Amino acid sequence: MYYPCPVCGYGQMTEPPENYNICPSCGTEFGYHDLSTSHRSLRNKWLANGAKWFSFATPKPDIYWNGFVQVTGAGLPYDVPAPSDSFKEVEVTVPGSDTPEMTQPCQSR
C-alpha cells in the first residue's frame, strides 16, 4: 500500500505521512517538521531550495524525475516561482564537465 505525501505529492510512500515517517522525496518528517509548519509552507521551502530528491536509500522514481512536475501533477498549490534559468544554472554545475572541444583532428598526414 502506498501513501501520497501531502507536501511534495510523491505518491509512493510506503508508510503513511505520520509517526515520524520521512518522505524520501522531500524529506519531510511527519509529526515533526509539520508540527508547527503547514504542508504548504514546507512545500514552498522545498521547491525554493530546488526540489531535490531527499533520500539516499530510496532511488528517484526515474532519472527524469522532477520535483516541480511532481507537485504540479499532484495538483498541490505552491507560492514560489517555477524554475528560472538561474535556478537551472545552480543544478547543472557538474565538476569536470568542460570537454575539450578545441581538439582538432590531425590532418597533416
Give the interface with Zn ion as residue ranges (CB under 5 A). 5, 7-8, 10, 23, 25-26
Contact between 54 and 26 under an 8 Å Cβ cutoff? The reply is yes
CB-nearer residue toward Zn ion: 75 or 105: 75
CB-nearer residue toward Zn ion: 77 or 96: 77
Q: Considering the complex, what minimum distance in angstroms separates the CB of residue 83 from Zn ion?
A: 18
Q: Considering the complex, what minimum distance in angstroms separates the CB of residue 71 from Zn ion?
A: 9
Distance CA 58, CA 55 (A): 5
Q: Considering the complex, what minimum distance in angstroms separates the CB of residue 5 from Zn ion?
A: 3
CB-nearer residue toward Zn ion: 26 or 51: 26
Q: Among residues 28, 31, 10, 9, which one has the least CA distance to residue 20?
A: 31
Distance CA 45, CA 39 (A): 10
